[in-house]
Amino acid sequence: MLWPVYILNHMSPSGGSIVHPHAQVLVESEPLPVQQVVMKRSRDYFARIGREYWNHLLASERALGDRFVYENEYLGVVASYAPRGFNELQFVFKHVDCLAGLDGSGVLSFVDCLSRALREYQELGVGSFNLVSFSGPMGGVGEHWRLTMKLISRPYPGLASANDTGPFERLCNAWVIDTVPETLASRVRAVFR
């Protein structure tokens, strides 16, 4: 199976090295670590409750009102109950389980919602952010899963701002490491001789 991932970084505190919003599309051979856990729990929820979790989440948040932000025919937006980052918003696509399943109307709806969220981020003084998608595999995964995306703010960029964590570390429990452990060991071994 092939798992598409869409990532958007803005400014160096997000782990981005380019001054403009930097988008990446990756295709992985397996789901991201956090996604594996959430997919299993989503599947278990569906088996236990007989209802798909994601639209049930939107309905529950809409009824409670505290974290509910917005909803249209394509997606809903909520402030995450247990955020992994500052000012975290979650976008839940109501009828799509994979990035490849988005049609033009779904993309336009998402772009409109993301633009609104980023305008509010600007009002909050946010100058850096990460966005990550959690997509099912190309070809679909089943009725228990929906495509979701998470948006988090990062520290405001300063004159010499940089960050050693990007969207994979912050939102996916996938650590991007620039040195293979065996290579490091072979280099450092010499100073211990």
d(CA 98, CA 167): 19
User: Residue 9: CB partners within 8 Å, gap ≥ 6?
Assistant: 15, 16, 18, 21, 22, 24, 129, 130, 166, 167
Dihedral pair phi/psi, residue 138, rounded to 5°: -65, 130
Give the confidence band of 112 by pLDDT, cuts at 50, 70, 90. very high
**Do residues 94 and 106 lie in contact, with contact meaning Cβ atoms separated by under 8 Å?**
no
Is-above-0.85 flag for pTM? Answer: no
Q: Sign (positive/negative) of CA torsion 46, 52, 53, 56?
A: negative
User: Residue 143: CB partners within 8 Å, gap ≥ 6?
Assistant: 46, 52
- 76-109 per-position pLDDT tens digit: 999 988 888 888 899 999 999 999 999 999 999 9
165: Cα separation from own chain's centroid: 14
Of residues 154 and 120, which shows the higher confidence score?
120
Domains and CATH numbers, the chain: 3-192 (3.30.428.10)
Mean pLDDT of 170-174: 58
Q: What is the pLDDT of residue 56?
A: 96
- 15-28 per-position pLDDT tens digit: 666 566 677 888 98
Q: What is the pLDDT of residue 178?
A: 47
pLDDT at 121 over 70: yes
